[in-house]
Amino acid sequence: MPNGINKAKLTETDIITKLVLPAIKRAGWDDMTQIRQEVKLKDGKVVVRGQVAARQKVKSADIVLYYKTGMPLAVIEAKANKYELGKGMQQGLGYAELLDVPFVFSTNGDGFLFHDKTNLGQMESEIALEDFPSPATLWQKFTQWKGYPTEQLPIIEERYHDDGTGKAPRYYQQQAINKTIEAVAKGQDRILLVMAN
């Protein structure tokens, strides 16, 4: 740890800012276009007790890594160093299922527990902070997992239009868009897309 800081005294936020984000950036992930923090996935459930209603906590992934805007690849869940490396794995797996991504990383700042659905042999392995995979590495594994033929990649990799409003589709709307583009790239003649606004 730089400057002799005791990791055990760091908060989850400190672990993310001082250890996780630098490791990700060193691996080649772009902070402006490929890394999003506190990605809101679901509003908390409304619980009614008598005449009082309250909303439970919003479900947010600590970090979501994107190949391009709107194309998520991986979820990273961080916990304070007092917890074991894999403490955030179950939470991350739930978020990965919502986002339809095969890669989940759980960390406490010592390294990463890497869950890789594309690796049929050994799905989970520990990796050091300095061995975090690059965007190209995860993208190659992702395209094979999705079964994208090489000739489809230019269509799938095309950047989405940004109208400059800063608004983004919700995760399930983005999934529908991505699946529609996949269908178009595969040459499907008939596609039904139903979306709420």
CATH number of the structural domain 2-146: 3.90.1570.30
Note whether 59 and 44 are within 8 A (CB): yes
Q: Are strands 46-49 and 35-42 parallel, antiparallel or unpaired?
A: unpaired
Task: Please compute the mean of the pLDDT values over residues 6-12 and round it to a whole number.
Answer: 82
How high is the pLDDT of residue 20?
95
Record the tokens describing residue 141, joined without a space: 């594994």
Sign of the C-alpha dihedral, residues 132, 110, 85, 175? Answer: negative
Confidence of residue 120 (pLDDT cuts 50, 70, 90): confident
| pLDDT beyond 70 at 155 | yes
Q: Residue 39 CA to chain centroid, in angstroms?
A: 9
Domains of the chain by residue range: 2-146
Identify the bridge partners of residue 48 per DSSP, sorted by sequence position: 53
Could you tell me if 160 and 70 are in contact, meaning their C-beta atoms sit under 8 angstroms apart?
Answer: yes
